[in-house]
Amino acid sequence: MASRRCRRLPLLLPLPLLLLLGASGFFQSYAVEVDVKDASNATCLYAKWMMKFLIKYETNSSDYKNTTLDLSPGVTHNGSVCGNDTQAALLAVQFGEGHSWSVNFTKTNETYQGDFVTFTYNTNDTAVFPDAKRKGPITVVVRDTMIPVQLNNVFVCHSTDSLEAENVTQIFWNVTVQAFVQNGTIGKKETRCQADTPTPEPTISPTTANMTTASTTTASPAPTTPPKPVENPVTGNYSLKRGNTTCLLATFGLQLNVSQDKPHLINIDPKTTSADGACGNTTATLKLNDGNSTLVAFTFVVKNESATIQKFYLKEVNVTLLNHLNGSVISSADNNNFSQWDTFLGSSYMCRKEQTLEINEDLQIHTFNLWIQPFLVKADKFSTAEECLADSDLNFLIPIAVGVALGFLIILVFISYIIGRRKSRTGYQSV
């Protein structure tokens, strides 16, 4: 039977950053190291990585809350399997009050890769889920995105990666793993994930370098220029499906205003942003992952205005900012007291003008060219839109301006007519 060694390693951070994270109440992260050995006590599966889980769950009051699940002391590693030509390798860990995570690896003649990731969280853990409506273990299975790796190579990915499914976001970083280790020796060659691959710097010829050096010794210092203002974000189109049917449509430009530490703006780029989430009859969640450092989740709910009238509105927004260097969570902010983007069920909501969502005192979200419909989408198209008040004011002012212009034109025509008649009468008087 294979033996296993599992260690939980603290993440080493500079002292100022540790003080900042501690003072701000952010979550501490840990690395896990698992060394699985075969019957001859030789390493057959090795992994060291860091991970965190963001989970949305239903409360006893039928609301939804977001919580963060971290690895806790006393991580175990029961059930890990070496694997061979006919059996998949399995890396499994257990932690906290009934939580577990595992990934299985399959191999071909020349490569191995991750297959499925299985995560089970236990809502009986009252420290993490203090008021969960559904009690007991909940399992989420999602296909791994790990690329095929040459046998005897080590897969390394320091950048952040995430998997999203069924109201759970799994975040990984600083990953080192090798399955099907040969002869008990960890490989020396690395296969890096695409996100870790550095962009080659431009080659500078010696002549160019000499010219640059001469220029810097004779030229006067360049004047300090103010920072270039951040432009409005590009408008992106996002959608969700339930089965083969589109259940949510969203179009907007998204910009984050972060005032913590050093104030700055972050534009969400639709070209690198993926959409995930879930649609229900009374609740829908749209999750956006920009693939770099930002996770944003919008939750919509249905309310009964009367026995026959139903409306939907935006109830909650959750934002998680990640360190783009190592993938650690910098901050996670949530506001579940919104009542915006309100309109009748079966309609869509539109607001072309900029809107601001106040998440907390350090974080705001700005939306541009918003058009959203989280329920009752038909034929993959937006239904009739109810426009926001800001757009309605604009539409109201346009006909007024046109009316005023026409009024001035009529007055000018009338004055010209009077002047023309007077000149005509003057021409017929006797001399």
pLDDT for position 402: 67
The answer to whether residues 104 and 157 touch, using CB atoms and an 8 Å cutoff, is no
Q: Domain 236-387 maps to which CATH number in 2.40.160.110, 3.40.50.2000, 3.90.930.12, 3.20.20.70?
A: 2.40.160.110
Decide which of 423 and 239 is more confident. 239
N- to C-terminal Cα separation, the chain: 130
> Residue 203: pLDDT above 60?
no
Could you read off the pLDDT of 359-394 as tens digits, one per residue?
988 889 999 999 999 999 999 999 998 998 876 654
Could you read off the pLDDT of 147-175 as tens digits, one per residue?
899 999 999 998 888 888 888 999 988 99
Calpha distance 374→280 (Å, rounded): 9
Out of 85-89, 99-103, 339-343, least confident range: 85-89
pLDDT for position 196: 82
Decide which of 10 and 64 is more confident. 64
pLDDT for position 303: 92
The model's confidence at residue 71, banded by pLDDT at 50, 70 and 90, is confident
> Residue 431: pLDDT above 50?
no
The model's confidence at residue 418, banded by pLDDT at 50, 70 and 90, is confident
The model's confidence at residue 25, banded by pLDDT at 50, 70 and 90, is very low
The model's confidence at residue 424, banded by pLDDT at 50, 70 and 90, is low
Decide which of 312 and 264 is more confident. 312
Pick from 392, 341, 389, 347: which is nearest to 367 by CA? Answer: 341
pTM > 0.75: yes or no = no
Classify domain 3-16+24-196 at the CATH topology level. Answer: Porin (2.40.160)
Question: Residues of CATH 2.40.160.110 domain(s) within the chain?
Answer: 3-16+24-196, 236-387
